Amino acid sequence: MARSNGRQLDYRVNWSGVEKLSERDRIIVALDFSSEQEALACADRLQGIATYMKVGMQLYYAAGPQIVYALKERGFNVFVDLKVHDIPNTAKGAMQSLASLGADMVNVHVAGGKDMMTAAKEGLESGAAGQTKPLLIGVTQLTSSSQQMMNDEIGIEGTIVDCAQRYAQLAKAAGLDGVVASPLEVEAIKRSCGPTFKTVTPGVRPRGAELGDQKRVVTPAEAFAFGTDYIVVGRPITQASDPLKAMRAMVESIGG
């Protein structure tokens, strides 16, 4: 079981020392449930095979900080996905509060701008007060957005890849550790921001699975082949009749 340890949050400690997380450990399971009980039942079912859990708005607003502590106590790495997007001072305060939870990863919207991201980072650092600082990740374009929606509804011109790349460069300039994007944008992001700038990629579906509201979608194996650091998968695992079986099949599909 991976545990956040030391400064490098994409590593884990085991009996043989510090080890880089394997692809299987870099599957982040999105626990999009409306109660702590349901979320922990699912997490417990995945003990021993899953390493990273995500607590998003639905679960955090229902269960509060306690859900993060409960998952950490069980040994999971935890991504607290609250997608902060506000004026710099408020974003800084939000991150100060989040820093005390012991999360391994948190996020903000890049669309909040460079000052907001810099303030968020400052808040995280001051809130962590010398303890391990979670990875700070910026959301580029949501994986539920299509090119047409971005151009016609939001009014951002150009391709999604160009936009994600530009947002990633801005996030890097603000000192963030990486971005959320679709796996389809990973190559462009790594090319312009460097290999150590993290990519966290939802919009992942096993072949033949329901896409739901996701628009920019690839399979888990394709996502890792594009060079992503983490994939985020929710419904294909959490809503499966047997989440453990679905997780096992996903691990098998990426070679182990």
Burial of 55 (0-12, 13-18, 19+ CB in 10 A): buried
Taking CB under 6 A as the rule, does residue 214 contact ligand OMP?
A: yes
Among 4, 51, 96, 107, binds ligand OMP (CB under 6 A): 107
Print the binding letters for residues 176-195 with ligand OMP: x by CB under 6 A, - otherwise. ----x---------------
Look up residue 141 and give its DSSP letter: S
Exactly one of 10, 25, 72, 81 is catalytic; name it: 81
Q: Which is nearer to ligand OMP, 80 or 193 (CB)?
A: 80
In this structure, what DSSP letter does residue 46 have?
Answer: T
234 appears as a binding residue in the annotation = yes
* Distance separating the N- and C-terminal Cα atoms of the chain: 15
- Can you tell me which of 212, 242, 245, 255 binds ligand OMP, judged by CB under 6 A? 212
At 164 the three-state DSSP class reads helix
Q: Are 205 and 236 in contact (CB under 8 A)?
A: yes
56 is in an annotated binding site: no
Q: For residues 77 and 75, what is the distance between their CA atoms, to the nearest angstrom?
A: 7
Span 116-155, contacts to ligand OMP by CB under 6 A: 139, 142-143
10 catalytically annotated: no
Is 81 labeled as catalytic in the residue annotation?
yes
User: DSSP E strands: which ranges in 41-171?
Assistant: 52-55, 77-84, 105-109, 135-139
Q: Is 245 a catalytic residue?
A: no
Binding site for ligand OMP (CB under 6 A): 30, 32, 56, 81, 83, 107, 139, 142-143, 180, 202, 212, 214, 232-235
Q: Which residues are catalytically annotated?
A: 81, 83, 86
